Amino acid sequence: MIAIDVAGLNVRFGAFRAITDLSLTIDYGEVHAIIGPNGAGKTTLLDVISGLTRPVSGRVTLDGARELTRLSDTAIARAGVRRKFQKPSVFMALSVGENLEIGGLGDASLIDETARLIGLADQLQRPAGTLSHGQKQWLEIGMVLAARPRVLMLDEPVAGLTDGETDLTAELIATLRGPDRAIVVVEHDMDFVERIADRVTVLHEGRTLFEGAMADARQDRQVIDVYLGR
């Protein structure tokens, strides 16, 4: 079942075409990676889905019914479409627990459950500013999880993480997947992507270059030429 249906999307910044005639679906139950070189339009795609950037044409439909390009970013978030940004933006002066509370978790047992999921159960009192980079990324994922999102979008969740932290993030994503959730991951770490993703879409200059399994993307001549071989 399709969660997000992107059809004929075009995004421009002035004369620059950031996304051109892009169509793809994000299905419930899958982990769908969006990969490609710097500037390919990956973050821009997430910005359009979350209502932060408006396309010049095309449609983004949630559950075959709601046209997201007509909704505000707040309404889209309320509809269960949530995202972790490329740069972590946790509140440094607040504790882990307070950050989770701001994420929308009023309930103490939900805070505990989420803290366990992200490996920070014994760090609830700790100021977020003192966490490692990896822990900050997980806290940010936890803040997004608070809303129990149906569509979860993670922009570069393992950038700057150690190998051990990257492994733990892969395990976390495996735990978060489920039949009622669609997960979108933008990432440059190809081994991580191969481990977590059912399907990858390779973007290049705002267009789809490849769609399929990561193992097949690694063998694709065009993908190697513009991205993997560099």
Contacts with ligand ATP, residue ranges (CB under 6 A): 13, 16, 18, 36, 38-44
43 binds Mg ion (CB under 5 A): yes
32 binds, among Mg ion, ligand ATP, none (CB under 5 to 8 A by kind): none
Question: Measured between alpha carbons, how far is 201 from 215 in angstroms, rounded to an integer?
Answer: 12
| Residue linked to tokens 């999102």 | 149
Complex with Mg ion: residue 34 or 131, whichever CB lies closer: 34
Complex with ligand ATP: residue 8 or 39, whichever CB lies closer: 39
Question: Measured between alpha carbons, how far is 105 from 224 in angstroms, rounded to an integer?
Answer: 43
97 binds, among ligand ATP, Mg ion, none (CB under 5 to 8 A by kind): none
What DSSP element (H or E) covers 164? helix 163-176
- Binding region for Mg ion (CB under 5 A) out of 25-33, 41-49, 125-133, 163-171: 41-49
CB atoms within 10 A of CB 2: 13
Cβ-in-10-Å burial (0-12, 13-18, 19+) of 85 comes to: middle
13 binds, among ligand ATP, Mg ion, none (CB under 5 to 8 A by kind): ligand ATP
Residue ranges binding Mg ion (CB under 5 A): 42-43
